[in-house]
Amino acid sequence: MNQNEGMLEPHLDKLGASNKTVFGHPAALFVLFFTEMWERFSYYGMRALLTVFLISEISKGGWGWSNAEAMGLYGWYTSLVYATPLIGGMIADKLTGFRKAILIGAFLMTLGHASMALEGFDANFFYVGLGLMILGNGMFKPNISSMVGQLYPDTSSKKDAGYTIFYMGINAGAFLGSLLCGYLGEKIGWHYGFGLAGVFMFFGMLQFYFGQKIFGVIGNKPLTTEEKSKQVVDKDEEVIPPNVVKDRLFVVSVLMIASIFFFLAFEQAGGSLSIFAKDYTQRVLEGNAATSFKWIDALLTLFPIVVVTIVLLALAKKIFRQYPLTIIFTVLSFASIAALGFWKIEREFTSLETEVTVSWFQILNAFFIVMFASAFSKLWEKYWNPSGPIKFAMGLFLVGFSFIVVAYGASGIPQGAAAGAVRVSMLWLVLAYFFQTMGELCLSPVGLSYVSKLSPKKLLGLIFGFWFLASAISNKIAGVMGGMIDEISAKYSLSTFFLVIAIMPIAVALILVLMNPMLKKKMHGIN
């Protein structure tokens, strides 16, 4: 620990960044934490609503699309969201630098949400909004991840822990976005849910803008050829031989391919699992079950609010004097979120009927991450730190197992059962999301860290772009597979559909275990 801290401060000083630390990590990490939290609030808040909105009856304000049609649009949207970071990374590397790219992306996404909130006036606003969000995400997502990696020396074991903390911010935003936007959309009106997501994207943009100096030269502008040459001489690491670069990029490529099989299963959350929740899960609760759910829902709502408040207060204590506007905008936005959370709790306790929203289940993934991310961070940092391929294999196996759980829960639903004809306990979805989350913590933040550690610095934004391109492929496949739920359920069973999804990531997990010795060798000392 002391050695890592000793490496961290000189590294930050060299970059002109603030050397103040929060929980042993750079204070700048937590500025990025909150910026990403608001961006993920907007993205997951909208995603929680997208499929449900499209398949809901026109009489309830939806568009009345079929499951296959909705999954088709969902697949295209989520795949393009992950494809555009390739272009955004290149623009940042060559033209704007990371910071300007993040601000441009945040502004475009704010406009996108505003446009979607107007879908009731004209359907074209909905499509324009989706387009703006795709473009904005492309500028935002790869570049903020790149900035996180640059806060740490590559040889520091704190980097994996830093990405895990950053990932906790991602999922705090995902939790609150899915919870509040989903609730407003399903209970009050779809446009309220879409609009709320944009409000906090705007707040995220402001708090990042006013806190830029905390990063020093990180992400300020793209480096010139002379600066890149100087950076090679001045950086802490030795000049890396071409064969080592080649080997490490091979490992990155293998991990990218493996991630496709993880996310084609994981991204069913916004697709086939949402359909399963809407049509085949018992969501209307009565008596003791209703009362228990209200208390559980209230505690789930309060937990991330309390956790993020602790983080915010710790950050404010360290940087308020130097960056008051960053803290003020963050406090104002989070206070608004807390107020909405308390309003939701009060409304549910006074309601005569308890119906769990379809989007509610999507908060479970984010809740489990907020709850367990720090434990995984400590596990990798202090107790057990297996190689990247082994962590990936663990993640793939767990996400596959989650669908075995759903398949077992759906085994009582007969072949070709109509929507709503048979409903099973919501506990099966709760368990599935738990195992998915454990898998995600083994793979996703670790993947971001390994891209940062194994990639050449001058190509970091581009490589992150390719990483998200792999996610784009997986999201498109996820949409296609999810659109087959009705066809496979009619021909075989709903349980069979989920077992098909389970098999693929588990098979890839076994392959990675076999390849581990060779991949470790090709990483050349990076673990």
Separation of CA 523 from chain center: 26
User: pLDDT tens digits for 396-437?
Assistant: 999 999 999 999 999 888 887 777 778 889 999 999 999 999
What is the share, in percent, of the chain residues with pLDDT greater than 70? Answer: 94
Residue 447 CB contacts under 8 Å (≥ 6 apart), including other chains = 255, 259, 392, 467
Give me the residue label for tokens 């009856």. 57
Give yes or no for residue 523 having a pLDDT over 70: yes
Position 448, amino acid: L
* Whole-number percent of the chain with pLDDT over 90: 31
**Identity at 323, one-letter amino acid code:** Y
**Looking at 49-53, 189-193, 230-234, which range is the least confident one?**
230-234
Assess contact for 152 and 159: CB atoms under 8 A.
yes
- Which pLDDT score is estimated for 223? 57
Which DSSP letter does residue 284 get?
E
Q: Is the pLDDT of residue 228 over 80?
A: no
Query: Is residue 200 over pLDDT 90?
Result: no
- When pLDDT is averaged across residues 444-463 and rounded to a whole number, the result is 78
Domain locations in the chain?
30-213+268-522
Q: How many CB atoms lie within 10 A of CB 491?
A: 12
15 three-state secondary structure: coil
> What ranges in 184-286 are assigned the alpha helix state H?
190-209, 225-234, 242-266, 272-280
> What confidence category does residue 209 fall into, taking pLDDT thresholds of 50, 70 and 90?
very high
User: In degrees rounded to 5, what are phi and psi of residue 366?
Assistant: -65, -40
- Count other C-beta atoms under 10 Å from residue 436's C-beta: 28
pLDDT number for residue 238:
56
Helix (H, G, I), strand (E, B) or coil at 497: helix
Distance, CA of 440 to CA of 368 (rounded, Å): 10
Interval 375-399 mean pLDDT: 86
Residue 297 pLDDT: 92
Q: What angle do CA 229, 231, 237 make, to 5 degrees?
A: 120
- DSSP-derived secondary structure for 73-113: HHHHHHHHHHHHHHHHHHHIIIIIHHHHHHHHHHHHHHHHH
C-alpha distances out from residue 492 to 271, 414, 422, Å: 20, 9, 16
Confidence of residue 235 (pLDDT cuts 50, 70, 90): very low
pLDDT of 352 > 60? The answer is yes
- Mean pLDDT, rounded, for 453-470: 78
Q: Are the C-beta atoms of residues 365 and 173 closer than 8 Å to each other?
A: no
Instruction: Encode pLDDT of 65-78 as tens digits.
Output: 888 888 889 889 98
pLDDT value for 468: 76
Q: What is the DSSP string of 398-423?
A: HHHHHHHHHHHHGGGSPTTPPTTTS-
Q: Identify the band that residue 226 occupies on the pLDDT scale cut at 50, 70 and 90.
A: low
| Three-class SS state of 22 | strand
| Separation CA 316–CA 501 (nearest Å) | 45
Residue 6, pLDDT score:
66
pLDDT at 210: 92
The neighbouring-strand residues paired with 25 are: 22
User: Computed from CA positions of residues 144, 150, 154, 159, in that sequence, does the dihedral angle turn out positive or negative?
Assistant: negative
Query: Per-residue pLDDT tens for 127-162?
Result: 999 999 999 988 998 788 778 878 888 667 677 678
Give the model's pLDDT for residue 191: 83
Average pLDDT of the chain to the nearest whole number: 86
Mean pLDDT, rounded, for 241-254: 88
Tell whether the model's pLDDT for residue 5 goes beyond 80.
Answer: no
CATH 1.20.1250.20 fits 30-213+268-522, yes or no: yes
pTM: 0.78
Cβ(497)–Cβ(417) below 8 Å: no
Name 355's bridge partners: 284
Q: Which residue's structure tokens are 């980097």? A: 159
- How many whole angstroms separate alpha carbon 381 and alpha carbon 146? 21
Least reliable range by pLDDT among 212-216, 285-289, 369-373, 491-495: 369-373
* Residue 1: band (very low, low, confident or very high) from pLDDT cuts 50, 70, 90: very low
The answer to whether the CB of 446 falls within 8 A of the CB of 453 is no
The answer on pLDDT for 236 being more than 50 is: no
Query: 233: pLDDT confidence band, cut at 50, 70 and 90?
Result: very low
Give the pLDDT of residue 260: 93
Tell me the mean pLDDT in the region 371-397.
84
What is the arithmetic mean of pLDDT over 45-51?
84
Provide CB contacts within 8 A for 385, sequence distance 6+: 157, 160, 379, 527
**What is the per-residue pLDDT across 88-141, written as a single tens digit (0 to 9) for each?**
878 888 888 889 999 999 999 999 988 988 887 888 998 999 999 999 988 998
Q: Where does residue 263 rank: exposed (0-12), middle (13-18), buried (19+ CB within 10 A)?
A: buried
